[in-house]
Amino acid sequence: MTTARTEAITILRPDAVAAGTRAIAIEVPVAIEIDGLGYAVMMMTPADLPAFTTGFLLTERLADSADDVRDIDVFEAEAGWIVRVGLSERCRGRIHDRVRHRTSDTSCGLCGISGLEQLRKPVAGTPPRPDVPVTAIFAALAGLRAHQPLNAATGAIHAAAACDRSGAVLAAYEDVGRHNALDKLVGGLAIRSSEPPAFILVTSRISFEMVDKALVAGVAMLVGISAPTSLAIDHARAHGLTLLALARSDAILVVNDPFGVFENGSEGDYPKVGN
């Protein structure tokens, strides 16, 4: 099973631009079917799936021991991977009760869906062309810490911030889960009927779910301080979302630039962004 791939990227620095490559972690949907019932779709690295399935069933309290996990069958499908597994007779009734009453799951952004086909959710509209100077992105990075009081106290909290064209943080939300922080931001903007910000900055890796939430928010650009996954890049490309990653005080990687706003101009003018 492939767990990484190489992607061409552009490296932004305050005074220069360069081309390069980077290894990107593979993220795929893995559908878990237990005794013939679709239970969850996990976004994950496609490695050690039998071990994952056993541990997942144990931590979900669907099995009491590894002996209760039977006949694990792992196979690749068009949209991802499927794991079919059975439970021992003494545990079999739990899955029926769980599926009947289960409404949500906090361990994964997509655990509430039951099949790979449900990943293909419609996306309304196309993200606009970003109009953000590179200096604004570095300014947002420098100013974000002031909007992370809970993380300052605990060191274990993610944040998602809406930023304007100057890099000022308009709104920021914190949560122990990166998905939760971004959901709070999207919800807060929606409650206030705010126009989409110039860009969203998140303090985490960028996965499929994070890109999808940014698309729902109608934002032009998503910036993350950690690396993207393969599926996140594919999702951004499919829907025209500008995607920047590994954003640090000295460099930012341009991973998806559908409008070409971060390319070096023919006259050598850097950066070519906005007006």
Q: Which residues are catalytic?
A: 108
Backbone angles phi, psi at 77, to 5 degrees: -115, 175
Nearest-angstrom CA–CA distance, 177 and 104: 15
**What per-residue string of b and e applies to 124-143 under the rule 16 or more CB within 10 Å gives b?**
eeebebbbbbbebbbbbbeb
User: CA-to-CA distance for 12 and 20, rounded, in angstroms?
Assistant: 11
Is 141 within 8 Å of 176 (Cβ atoms)?
no
The half-sphere exposure of 54 on its side-chain side, counting CA atoms within 13 A, is: 11
Q: How many residues does the chain have?
A: 275
Rg over CA atoms, the chain: 21
The one-character DSSP state at 265 is: P
The rounded distance, in Å, linking the Cα atoms of 235 and 95 is 32
52 in Cβ contact with 28 (< 8 Å):
no
Burial of 195 (0-12, 13-18, 19+ CB in 10 A): exposed
Q: How far apart are CA 255 and CA 22, in angstroms?
A: 10
